[in-house]
Amino acid sequence: DEVTEAYYTTGHYSIFIKVMCRSIDALQHVLINKIQTIDEIQSTETLIVLQNPIMRTIKP
């Protein structure tokens, strides 16, 4: 339930997911016990958002 967004992508990564966790310990638990246990996942790279200064809606 920590995954909030998921995208299939082109380039270096096949999939990009966004997870939300309450703490670094919770993030570590998700990575080790949920994501990295999926056989098809060969590796992960973690980026942590420090702040979200730009919030805007793009109209179609």
Q: What is the pLDDT of residues 5-60, one digit of tens each?
A: 999 999 999 999 999 999 999 999 999 999 999 999 999 999 999 988 888 888 88
**Which pTM value belongs to this model?**
0.74
Nearest to 35, CA basis, from 21, 23, 50: 21
Q: Which residue has the tokens 């973690």?
A: 46
Separation between Cα atoms, residue 46 and residue 13, nearest integer Å? 12
Q: Which residues are 48's β-sheet partners?
A: none
Domains of the chain: 1-60 (3.30.70.920)
Q: What is the pLDDT of residues 23-32, one digit of tens each?
A: 999 999 999 9
